[in-house]
Structure 1
């Protein structure tokens, strides 16, 4: 493991970046600001290393604003309608930061906090801890969260989430990495072939809030049960893909395959396993070319895609969805594994 200085926040807090390395030629760089994964460097089918996530080389660029590249989204990832929910008879009002809605924890969500780091060299892991105080961004309860990033010799990045609270509160943590397995060898990510293990998705309204309907994907452009490229039916989906998929067998809390992505130029394969019931598949619709990342890559529209393993959007207001409420005495636990491989095709 390696540790380096990564800059300072405006209030002078020092930020570090950590590098996990395995024997398979994979390295992962993580900063304790927002738990951001800045780099995932993996070899392609020819053994050439490349960075497969969108990110920046210095803290100041992250501080200037970005669409959650590589960050931990919380206390509640995704959207909560109108920034309001009722819990145990009390209405709570959250920060509004996405049209009329609350998104990814608010104005100063977990992605903008400096987490307390602990290196775990025996496990080739980094543990991050953050204590979110009662009332932060409008949420009830003091929530203590830990996220452990582990890089294994099976070429897997395992992300383990845990949290406890002193008052009932909603919680929904995810990692918001944008992937591009071509690592700069393609103009965008539209040629990636995607398979998603889901038979339904949460239908959304004009503000991207679920209506409550879980609609079958079969026979629609939303169906990735068999592999399709991201771009093959993109124009048939208004605004592009930004939808939560209801994962098959997503209620048993066991790690299961959620998605597999193949990039034909480099032969890279990314498999995603999770204990979560849902996964937001996002095709980088709001990237617009105004941000330039590592290696001077311009992040234009559809340059990257996200596989955000999570509970369903707006769950605190949707009683039919799996609950996101954590009560005192209970522990929130979720895991996601990203497995890296290559496919050599004749």
Structure 2
């Protein structure tokens, strides 16, 4: 187990490496995961998340690939909570915590490193002041990344504020288990242990309704190929799913060609899944010079459902003053062809 550090263009990178050569690279700007390298059935280690080829591209493009999104991930309709006017950075709405500043593209402080025989990790910290992006309370946010020797990456976000405020963090990774984004996600298989999903209106905003997934393209309760499901959805997947809280993984993603499998277990009550359908940008240089194209990655974001403050059924994202609140998600990487 080791941690490799390097710096380039004012950005600090930390690569966590376990005893089986799996690695996770995190940069301090945005507490962002830039690469997760796991092996395929032939023993080739390749990156299974979308990431820019150059660190500075994260800052100039602001595309959220791998970023820690705080204070609140997703949208808040009309950018208002109680008497507080939040930053409008998505039309009249508030998106991903606002942009004054956008914490996903600000430098985080490395608080300490963890290094044992079976685990390596980092704890990063960001302090956002009272009134920033319209939120009440000065909040200390920590992001903890721990890689163990069994292929499990655990990400924890803890927020503590000196005033009652909002907190709904997530890690904004786009997964592609083919390795180095060799193929789109269409032939990968997805399973989500969820009976309900969050319906959206024509503007992409949550309606507050939670229909059952039965007999719909949102039914991923059994492992199913992603491509045909997406084809049945106008605009693709960009929806929240209400997770069944179980002792076994609530989300699984599988690429049968490479053999790579991702299993996710979280204490968050929901997961937002986006197929990046129609998301194209030739300016982006990803995973070895590729341009971003439709369905190149699948974003899986554990959190509470977006716009929860306007929909009681979604659960509360209000946290009390001086009480730390933690969201924790374990990502377990394996290969089905290993013996």
Q: TM-score range by the shorter chain?
A: over 0.9
Aligned counterpart, 1:11? none
Aligned counterpart, 2:25? 29
Does the 8 Å contact 1:269/1:340 carry over to 2?
A: yes
Does the 8 Å contact 2:248/2:265 carry over to 1?
A: yes
SS in 2 for 1:216: coil
**CA–CA distance in 1 between the matches of 2:69 and 2:203?**
19
- Normalised by the length of structure 1, the TM-score is 0.92
1:262-287 C-alpha deviation (Å, 9 max, x unpaired):
10210100111100000001101252
What are the within-5 Å matches in structure 2 for residues 55-204 of structure 1?
55-86=51-82, 91-107=83-99, 108-117=101-110, 118-122=112-116, 123-184=119-180, 186-204=182-200
Cα distance, 1:207 vs structure 2: 2.4
Aligned counterpart, 1:2? 4
Moved more, 179-188 or 124-133: 179-188
1:277 pairs with one of 260, 263, 269: 269
Aligned counterpart, 2:201? 205
- Normalised by the length of structure 2, the TM-score is 0.94
2:313 is equivalent to residue 320 of structure 1: yes
RMSD across aligned C-alpha pairs, in angstroms? 1.7
Aligned counterpart, 1:12? none
Give the total of aligned pairs: 332
Does the 8 Å contact 1:80/1:209 carry over to 2?
A: no
Aligned counterpart, 2:287? 294
Structure 2 segments unaligned to the other structure (5+ residues): none
Does the 8 Å contact 1:94/1:138 carry over to 2?
A: yes
Does the 8 Å contact 1:19/1:29 carry over to 2?
A: yes
**CA–CA distance in 2 between the matches of 1:46 and 1:95?**
49
**CA–CA distance in 1 between the matches of 2:191 and 2:59?**
34
Cα distance, 1:211 vs structure 2: 1.2
SS in 2 for 1:341: strand
SS in 2 for 1:320: helix
